[in-house]
Structures are given as structure tokens and as C-alpha cells.
Chains A and B, each alone.
Chain A
Amino acid sequence: MTAQGRESGFGKDLIGLEALTGDQIEAILDTAEPFKEISERKIKKVPVLRGQTIVNLFLEPSTRTRISFEFAEKRLSADTVNISSAGSSVQKGETLVDTARNLEAMRIHMVVVRHGSSGAAKFLADRIPSNVINAGDGQHEHPTQALLDLLTIRDRFGAIAGRRVCIVGDILHSRVARSNIWGLLKCGADVAVCGPRTLIPAGIEELGVQRLDSIEEAIEWCDVLYVLRLQLERMEGGYVPSLREYNRVFGVSSERLGRAGDEMIVLHPGPMNRGVEIDSDVADGPRSVILPQVTNGVAVRMAVLYLLAGGRPELAEDAKAAAR
């Protein structure tokens, strides 16, 4: 198989969930199901991507997402190379277009890219024949994070359609929020956002979500409370007066969860600021599905890699069986 012009049913790349249909998203989640089981096995490897080279191009610091992708790639037997901003030519002023040219010259099959600028993943995808997977671009999208969140919600409720999901916190700067909004809406969920008005972006309702101003109202309303990380630099930007104030007004505490429905679950993309956006007893409590999220992350990324490499959703089971 060459890197030239390969296409899955989802296109050459995975840049964001905005471009996908609900059916395509559900198909990725279906494909992830059999891959979950592989991670439970003693020998956690299948030969699906043997001989394929994947570059993990992380031009913005990230530990969890990079490690999750690496596990996924290795479990599919791909050859991987990691390039991170520290110490690479990228930090020495190489432009993204030069990076793209170099990647093209290396004839690699796939690039997993994390970048601080919105649109960077698409920029790369438009310029190289390799499959490009967006592992987070600026404040735009982080599609595999949303896919693992969707899988976690589906695992718990059996279906995403009809569920009420409220995303709480810094929506303005969050690519995780954007990808989740698109994914949830396309899969038929009701979506709301809740947070200080300074961190709710312009025209959010036009995307098809409602805005809730109080965390109490949000907790009563939703089946899924998706708590975002509050980045500490938001205080310096003047968006919130202090972390203490943020916790007082929007922090998710077990006391506040007293208003929640019995089935309500709490998600968080990590890493958490305990005592700021979420209290420890909630993060570690019975409603939290934060650890299953991490497990699902590897399975979903395996599914995405498999599908972009040309695998078909219904063959995922067979691919797994063949490895036995």
C-alpha cells in the first residue's frame, strides 16, 4: 500500500467532526468496539498496520493524547516516529509548509498532528498525500477526544440520541468543546453550554446549542455533565477574576450534584484542576467516568487509524479475529 491517494469512507483525513455525518461517527464508534477488547488481552497487538509508518507530530506540549495515539499505533503494529517541538527543527523557525514538504519527502503513511494554531491540521492535510489525523489544532477541533467521549456516553446509555449533555467551563478556548458539540449534535443529543459569559464564544447558539447561565440549572437539566479544564492563564486574560471565584460560581461539587438525576454522569477530558472546575470527591466519585474515557481513547484512535488506512468498519471484527 502506498501513501498516495488512500481514502477511507471518511476521506483522506480526520480534521474534525464538523465535516462528518452522524452515521460516519457512529460507524467509527462501532469500529472501536472490537478494538476495546484487544487492549484487554495479554498480547495487545494485531498486524493491521504492519509496514505502515506514522509520524506523531506534536508541536504543542501534550502527554496524554500523544501516549494514547502511540499505544493505538503500536497495538496495530505500525512503525512510529515522534517529533515534538522541543529540540526539533520546527522550534528553530521551520515553517509549517517546510515541515509539510519534509514529511512528503519522507513518504510516510500517516501524520498525527497537534498544533497550537487553529487550521494547522487542515493546512498540512491540504499539502501532503499522507493521511492526516488532527490531534488538536488551536481552538478548533480535537476529534479523537470527542469520539472517545461519545463512545463513553454510548457505553453508559446505550445510545447518544436524545441524551442531554451540558459542557461546562471555558468554551471560548476549547477545541474539545467544539468537537463534542459537533459530534453530539450529529448523533442526536441535546447540547447545552454553561460557563461565565466571558468564556462563551460569540454566536454559540447558531451552532445549535443552548446556553445555561447557572451550574445548578445545568446539573438539573443534563444526563451528562462534561466539565472542561480551566486553564490557569484565563485569569491573566481577565476572563475570570480568580480561581476561587470560578470554583464558587461554576465548580462542580458533590453538594451541587445533589440536584442531579440518578443516572447522570460526569466527564472530564483531563488533566483536571482539582478544586477549581471539579472537586476531588466528584472526580473520584460514582458518577465519574473519567477513567473509562482514558481506556476508550486508545480504542477509538485504533479505529480511526484502521479506517483511514483503508479498513472497512464491518471488517474490524474479522481483522481482530484474523490476529488470533
Chain B
Amino acid sequence: MSGSLLLTGGRVIDPSSGLDEVRDVLVRDGRVEAVEQGVAGPEGIPRIEAEGLVVAPGLIDVHVHLREPGAEHKETIRTGAQSAAAGGFTTIWAMPNTDPPLDDPAAVGFVREEARRWARKGEGGARVSPVAAASLGLAGEQMTEIGGLVEAGAVAVTDDGHPIHDPALMRRLLEYTQSFGIPVLQHAEDMALSAGGVMNESAVATALGLRGIPNASEATVVARDIYLAELTGGHVHVQHVSTREAVELIRVARERGVRVSGEASPHHMALTEEAVRGYRTEAKMNPPLRSAADRLAVRQGLIDGVLECVATDHAPHHYEEKEREFDDAPFGIVGLETALAVCIGELVKPGDLPLFDLVERMSTAPARLMGIEGGTLRPGSRADLVLFDPDEEWTVDPASFRSKSRNTPFGGWEVTGRVKRTIVGGETRYRDESAGPD
């Protein structure tokens, strides 16, 4: 029976219903039917032994770059979705800074359909939701036809890769998107302040002779956007928050009821600018790795819920593109296949965030925040699930990634927490081979 299975004896964590207990999960026809103890299950349904594993709603990543169309040597929709499934993600949001960009309904439809086509062929991964460009050509001038883009499947708008610089355009976007109930995702960076910068502005940059990007280049844009969200009532979501100043601005604005939210990336919580020393291009991303104080602030922001969700900013680049002078290497790192383990190691193991809460930040919270399906195991919901061993120790080997790219600062890291199986609509889309035959 396709789309049906019984998961037995796992530790079920479902933040949407406050559940954290050993239960069986019965999935029928792609939907969760029951989460109970001692579910017998109908004859002929595949049974999966989940003892010792966490069974949770599939992870959701609202910030992924899939590179297709235009840069298929870095990643494709197929490999990106498979990489996501290998990381325990069942839904990912694809950013529009492709070539051509996702600024018209055909391009948006292509991304959605391409993911579905591979899934039908048995080579699917996570569900892929396209995020449309906020401005035509990502040029920051003219608003895209958001109504048509939403009809074609867009779930949000952004110019990510670039900031939405013009405050008047940002204002109009925050007004106009309210008709469709979607957020504006902002890559918060003042390009005049960051111009030419390749890492955090600090004593480390000074010693390395690299041009710095000041915290203020993020904070000033976040402050402006908060006032625009307050003015318009629109929802601005700050992508990859990297500075203590931005965390503080978001905290204060939320307290007074402004519709501003933020995401924390695993790398900004796990690493500081020190990782750049030696001119390591796999530690070059935008926004850059910041100081120890910023790292702590972003972690605390996630722990406190000021930053509601984890998002990877998965940004694949070909090996040769990163193998060059630091100034000339592109920004960005891959993150889908290391996110869960890095977050467990950074947040759960030291006792700063219960595993239950981490699942919430990586699944239930992004679904609730963005108003999308998923993030729950309540009966009747879509059977998007992840099974992971929260205690398994493993070594990150970039060569084993499903992603086409290997640009990670976590290569060789000893990490804890391994995805064993990822189920999308009741169908297994990823299974850890080391677990033995099915």
C-alpha cells in the first residue's frame, strides 16, 4: 500500500501537540492516521522499527538556494531536494536568485513542477516551495506581479542574494503582500556600508588584511524594516540574522507587536569569524561569521524564540569556485545535511535548548510562522516525518553529501545526531544506508 506504514516504538516528538513520548505512528495514504501506544495496524502495511529513534514532523527550511535554473553545476532541484531529505527536511523554500530569476510565473512554476516530476520518477526529496523575486530581475526597482506568482506556487517574496534597498519599494511590498498573506523575506544588508567587504569587520579582518562588513550594515536595514512593518502592518522576515544588534532590534519590536520575525543559521550559531583565519573560503558567507558576542546573541535569540526558526541558507558552490583567493571566492556554504547535527551539538548537547524545542524551531515554528502545512503529527496531517538517532556520533564527510557541492566549514567535524529516514507524504525519500537493509 503506497503512502502507508507503521512506525513502532519511537520517541515521538510533536511540538504542535506538546507530545514527547514513546508511541507508534500509523500512516495511511500519505496522512497521519494515529499516534498511539500499541497500534496494531492493518495487515500488509510495512512496519518500521523506530526504537531508539526520534520520530518528529519533517524539518522545514525556509532558506535554500537550489541554483536551478542557471547554475546546475552547483546544484539542481533534484540534488538539492535529495540533499534536504538526507538532512531530515521534508519542505524547503527555494530562493529566486537563479538565472533567470524566479520573477515570472513560468519560472516559479518550473521549480515547483521540476521537484514534483523527480518525485514521480522516484528520485524526489523534500517538497520544494518556490519563493518568488520581490522585484523584477532582482533589480530592486519594480515590484513583480505577486498575485500571478502566488497563483503559480510562490510562498513568499524576496530579493535574497541582494537586499531590498529602496525603502519605498519595501514599504509597497509590505503593503501589497498582505493581500496574499505572504511575508517579505529580507536579506538585510546596506550595500554602501558593506561595499567590498568579505568578512566581519574586526581585529581579525584587520590582521588578515581583509575588508570588513560592519554589524551596522545589517542592523540599520533591520531597524528601517521594522519601522516599515510597523507602518504597514506587513510581515517582514529577516533572513540569516547575524548580529547582536539585529537580535535586539527584533526582540524589542516583537514586544511591541510588530510583525517582524527572524531566522538563525546553524553556522552563525556554531562558528565565529575565527573560522576565516587561514583564508578559508569555506567560511566565507554573507552575512559573514561574526564575533563571539554576536554568535552568543544569535543562539540566545533562537533559544528565547526571538528568532523563531533555524534556516540553513544552503548555498552550493562548485569546488573550483571556492578554490581561489579569498576576495574572489563566492559567498555561501551548503548546510542541509549538517544542520540537525550541528544544532544538536551546539544547542542540545550543552543543555541550552531541549531537543523538543529544537524540533519545534526546525519544524513546527517555521510552519506556523509562514502559515504553511507541516510541522505537526496530528492525525489527519500530511505524513511528512523525520526519524533520527539523537545520540549517534558521526564524522561529517563532504564527499558523501547528496548535494552536488561540498563547500562546508564542518567537514571533518565530529557531530551527534543522525538522520535515519525521511518520509514525505508517507513515502520514504531518504534512508541511511548504514542502518542495513529495509
Which residues of the other chain, A, contact B208 by a CB distance below 8 angstroms?
Answer: 118-119, 140
How far apart are the CA atoms of A113 and B325 in the complex, in Å?
14
Beyond A138-B209, A175-B209, whether A97 also contacts B323 by CB under 8 A is: yes
Query: Which positions 165-213 of chain B face chain A at CB distance < 8 Å?
Result: 201-212
The answer to whether A204 touches B279, judged by C-beta atoms less than 8 angstroms apart, is no
The answer to whether B325 touches A117, judged by C-beta atoms less than 8 angstroms apart, is yes
Query: Which positions 90-121 of chain B face chain A at CB distance < 8 Å?
Result: none
Beyond A119-B279, A122-B278, A202-B212, whether A96 also contacts B206 by CB under 8 A is: no
Q: Is A145 an interface residue (CB 8 A)?
A: no
Which residues of the other chain, A, contact B206 by a CB distance below 8 angstroms?
Answer: 178, 201-204, 207
Smallest distance from the beta carbon of A244 to chain B beta carbons, Å? 26
The answer to whether B203 touches A139, judged by C-beta atoms less than 8 angstroms apart, is no
Query: Which positions 208-237 of chain B face chain A at CB distance < 8 Å?
Result: 208-212, 214
The answer to whether A122 touches B209, judged by C-beta atoms less than 8 angstroms apart, is no
Which residues of the other chain, A, contact B278 by a CB distance below 8 angstroms?
Answer: 122
Bits for A139-155, please: 1 = Cβ < 8 Å to B, else 0.
11100000000000000
Q: Is B51 an interface residue (CB 8 A)?
A: no
How far apart are the CA atoms of A205 and B279 in the complex, in Å?
22
The answer to whether B205 touches A202, judged by C-beta atoms less than 8 angstroms apart, is yes
Which residues of the other chain, B, contact A207 by a CB distance below 8 angstroms?
Answer: 203, 206-207
Which residues of the other chain, B, contact A119 by a CB distance below 8 angstroms?
Answer: 208-210, 279, 325-327
The answer to whether B328 touches A178, judged by C-beta atoms less than 8 angstroms apart, is no
Which residues of the other chain, A, contact B324 by a CB distance below 8 angstroms?
Answer: 95-97, 123
The answer to whether A202 touches B209, judged by C-beta atoms less than 8 angstroms apart, is no
B contact residues, total (Cβ < 8 Å) = 22
Query: Which positions 171-216 of chain A face chain B at CB distance < 8 Å?
Result: 175, 178, 201-204, 206-207
Beyond A96-B325, A120-B325, A138-B327, whether A204 also contacts B209 by CB under 8 A is: no
Which residues of the other chain, B, contact A95 by a CB distance below 8 angstroms?
Answer: 320, 323-324
Which residues of the other chain, B, contact A122 by a CB distance below 8 angstroms?
Answer: 278-279
Out of A117, A141, A175, name the residue touching B327 (CB < 8 Å): A117
The answer to whether B209 touches A140, judged by C-beta atoms less than 8 angstroms apart, is yes
Bits for A94-131, please: 1 = Cβ < 8 Å to B, else 0.
01110000000000000000010111101100000000
Interface centre among B204, B214, B325 (most CB of A within 10 A): B325
Closest to B200 in A: A202
How far apart are the CA atoms of A97 and B281 in the complex, in Å?
14
Which residues of the other chain, B, contact A202 by a CB distance below 8 angstroms?
Answer: 201-203, 205-206, 212, 214
Bits for B316-344, please: 1 = Cβ < 8 Å to A, else 0.
00001001111110000000000000000
Out of A123, A175, A201, name the residue touching B325 (CB < 8 Å): A123
The answer to whether B209 touches A137, judged by C-beta atoms less than 8 angstroms apart, is yes
How far apart are the CA atoms of A18 and B202 in the complex, in Å?
17
The answer to whether B209 touches A139, judged by C-beta atoms less than 8 angstroms apart, is yes
Which residues of the other chain, B, contact A138 by a CB distance below 8 angstroms?
Answer: 209-210, 327
Which residues of the other chain, B, contact A206 by a CB distance below 8 angstroms?
Answer: 203
Which residues of the other chain, B, contact A175 by a CB distance below 8 angstroms?
Answer: 209
The answer to whether A117 touches B323, judged by C-beta atoms less than 8 angstroms apart, is no
Interface centre among A97, A117, A204 (most CB of B within 10 A): A117
Smallest distance from the beta carbon of B211 to chain A beta carbons, Å? 8
Smallest distance from the beta carbon of B268 to chain A beta carbons, Å? 19
Which residues of the other chain, A, contact B207 by a CB distance below 8 angstroms?
Answer: 18, 178, 207
Smallest distance from the beta carbon of B91 to chain A beta carbons, Å? 38
Closest to B204 in A: A203
Smallest distance from the beta carbon of B411 to chain A beta carbons, Å? 16
Which residues of the other chain, A, contact B209 by a CB distance below 8 angstroms?
Answer: 118-119, 137-141, 175, 178
Out of B203, B214, B328, name the residue touching A204 (CB < 8 Å): B203
Bits for B267-279, please: 1 = Cβ < 8 Å to A, else 0.
0000000000011
How far apart are the CA atoms of A66 and B324 in the complex, in Å?
24
How far apart are the CA atoms of A243 and B214 in the complex, in Å?
27
Which residues of the other chain, B, contact A201 by a CB distance below 8 angstroms?
Answer: 205-206, 212
How far apart are the CA atoms of A137 and B325 in the complex, in Å?
11
How far apart are the CA atoms of A202 and B211 in the complex, in Å?
10
Out of B204, B211, B212, B279, name the residue touching A123 (CB < 8 Å): B279
Closest to A142 in B: B209
Smallest distance from the beta carbon of A37 to chain B beta carbons, Å? 35
Closest to A173 in B: B209
Which residues of the other chain, A, contact B211 by a CB distance below 8 angstroms?
Answer: 139
Which residues of the other chain, B, contact A178 by a CB distance below 8 angstroms?
Answer: 206-207, 209
How far apart are the CA atoms of A137 and B208 in the complex, in Å?
10
Closest to B326 in A: A119
Smallest distance from the beta carbon of B274 to chain A beta carbons, Å? 13
How far apart are the CA atoms of A178 and B210 in the complex, in Å?
12
Smallest distance from the beta carbon of B323 to chain A beta carbons, Å? 5
The answer to whether B326 touches A203, judged by C-beta atoms less than 8 angstroms apart, is no
Smallest distance from the beta carbon of A245 to chain B beta carbons, Å? 23
How far apart are the CA atoms of A137 and B326 in the complex, in Å?
12
What are 28 residue pairs bridging A and B, where the CB atoms are less than 8 Å apart in the complex?
Answer: A18-B207, A95-B320, A95-B323, A95-B324, A97-B320, A97-B323, A115-B325, A117-B326, A117-B327, A118-B210, A118-B326, A119-B209, A119-B325, A120-B325, A122-B279, A123-B325, A137-B209, A138-B327, A140-B209, A175-B209, A178-B207, A178-B209, A202-B202, A202-B203, A202-B212, A204-B206, A207-B206, A207-B207
- Other A-B contacts than A117-B326, A118-B327, A178-B207, 17 sampled, CB-CB below 8 A, are A95-B324, A96-B325, A97-B320, A97-B323, A115-B325, A118-B208, A118-B279, A119-B209, A119-B210, A138-B327, A141-B209, A202-B201, A202-B203, A202-B214, A203-B203, A203-B204, A203-B206
Q: Sorted from nearest, which 6 A-B pairs have the closest CB atoms?
A: A203-B203, A140-B209, A119-B279, A139-B209, A117-B325, A118-B209
Q: Which residues of A contact B (CB under 8 A)?
A: 18, 95-97, 115, 117-120, 122-123, 137-141, 175, 178, 201-204, 206-207
Q: Which residues of B contact A (CB under 8 A)?
A: 201-212, 214, 278-279, 320, 323-328
